[in-house]
Amino acid sequence: MTSPTPQGEGTSKKTNEPRNTKITQQTLPACKPILEPVWIVFIFFAIGVVLVPIGAVCLYYGLKPVEISARYDQTCVQGASNAEREAYLYQNAANDSMLRCTIQLRVTADMPAPVFVYYELSGYYQNHRRYVKSRSDMQLAGKTKGLATNLCDPQERYDGNDSLPINPCGLVAWSFFNDTYMMAVSTNDSNLLPLPISDQNIAFKSDIKYRFASYTPQNFNPVIGPLRGGFNLSADSGGATPKDNQRFINWMRLSALPRFRKLWGRIDRDLKAGSMVSVTVYNRYNTYKFDGRKSIVLGTTTWLGSRNPFLGVAYLVTGGLSFILALVYLVLRLARPRKFGDPAALSFNNHPGASG
């Protein structure tokens, strides 16, 4: 009589070990270079040879554009403090003549056309989560099927009235920048010549074509008053529909940093060095509530963009450090040479208990 087989005997035991294959055991053929000191020197030297010339070119073109700018938020309104300036802005919100001022910009070097006109805001956090979410891209694109505007709160309904939907809705659109500029240029004979500013060809073509539609806005900043957030869509602001108003399109493209510039227009004529640009500013936008700053900037561009030496400096610093490291490794190699892979240099050979 045979004894019963124990339960589970003769069956394969489950295991979490990977299968014994080249893929699961990570034994596939692979390139495993051994970096000798000579190779280290060569690699760092090659990086320096590549990056330094690129950095020099980027720095040259990064410094080539000409820029002139002036801050105007303190000089274009009465008051010694931001609280007083804000009160003055509210009191004269419906009277543009009281918010008008003139600033002068001297052209320091020749500025070939096109000369771009930017406004610069500081201390303005367009990356705030609630601000970023308060918009409807479907509404801006003219889509009505499945349209939801609940994220636009608190600017979804005008005055909270359900029968007055705001279009375009949301805090981003509501706070549309509403300062405007008029310019004239004086030459050596002191004659002031009007300087037309175009609002065309200043936005991304993809934004104009795909992200914004031509439709009549509804209940969008309809009343000029002390609590008005910004421009409505009209000819004065650049166009009566979202698709036509490229200044509005640029405003809706949010900035990641609290200090940013947005393109407001372009001047399609050359500005000569030594000439004076007279800028008439209508200072309507309230940055005094959050101690923000406003500036106007005139600048030219190259194929690398506007004036910004950062990329060139970054390449030069990285390339220079690579040259220094290559030199350090080379000196160490020549001063203290040793055979590569010498087991005598291993730490365990120098241990007191190690035996030959």
Taking residue 33's Cβ as centre, other Cβ atoms within 10 Å add up to 6
Structure-token pair, residue 99: 């918010």
pLDDT digits (tens, 9 = 90+) for 103-161: 999 999 999 999 999 999 999 999 999 999 999 999 999 888 878 888 888 888 888 88
Q: Which residues contact 21 (CB under 8 A, 6 or more apart)?
A: none
Structure-token pair, residue 103: 């600033």
| CA distance linking residue 107 with residue 195, whole number of Å | 14
HSE (side-chain half, CA atoms, 13 Å) at 197: 21
Q: Per-residue confidence at 352, pLDDT binned at 50, 70, 90?
A: low
Q: Is 90 exceeded by the pLDDT of residue 31? A: no
Q: Per-residue confidence at 310, pLDDT binned at 50, 70, 90?
A: very high
Q: Is 80 exceeded by the pLDDT of residue 312? A: yes
Residue 20 Cα distances to 17, 24, 26, 87, angstroms? 9, 7, 10, 78
Percent of the chain's residues with pLDDT above 90? 52
| CA distance linking residue 198 with residue 263, whole number of Å | 11
Q: In the predicted model, what is the mean pLDDT of the chain?
A: 86
Tell me whether the omega of the peptide bond preceding residue 242 falls within 30 degrees of 0, making it cis. Answer: no
Given this model, what pLDDT does residue 7 score?
Answer: 53
Nearest CA-CA partner of 284 in 82, 90, 125: 90
| CA distance linking residue 298 with residue 197, whole number of Å | 11
Q: Is 90 exceeded by the pLDDT of residue 301? A: yes
Q: Per-residue confidence at 314, pLDDT binned at 50, 70, 90?
A: very high
If residue 48 lies in a helix (H) or strand (E), which one and from where to where?
helix 37-63
For helices 37-63 and 310-335, the axis angle rounded to 10 degrees is 160
Q: Are 124 and 288 in contact (CB under 8 A)?
A: no
Task: Using DSSP, state whether 124 is helix, strand or coil.
Answer: coil
| CA distance linking residue 300 with residue 154, whole number of Å | 39
User: Sheet containing 259-267: which strands, arranged edge to edge?
Assistant: 67-71, 293-299, 115-122, 259-267
Given this model, what pLDDT does residue 10 score?
Answer: 54
Given this model, what pLDDT does residue 304 score?
Answer: 87
Percent of the chain's residues with pLDDT above 70? 89
> Length of the chain in residues, anyone?
356
Q: Are 278 and 102 in contact (CB under 8 A)?
A: yes
Q: Which amino acid is at 214?
A: S
Q: Are 265 and 245 in contact (CB under 8 A)?
A: no
| CA distance linking residue 149 with residue 170, whole number of Å | 8
| CA distance linking residue 113 with residue 135, whole number of Å | 35
pLDDT digits (tens, 9 = 90+) for 254-280: 999 999 999 999 999 999 998 999 999
Q: Which is higher by pLDDT, 110 or 346? A: 110
Q: Which residues contact 41 (CB under 8 A, 6 or more apart)?
A: 326, 329, 330, 333
| CA distance linking residue 59 with residue 291, whole number of Å | 34
The DSSP code for 242 is: T
| CA distance linking residue 210 with residue 225, whole number of Å | 33
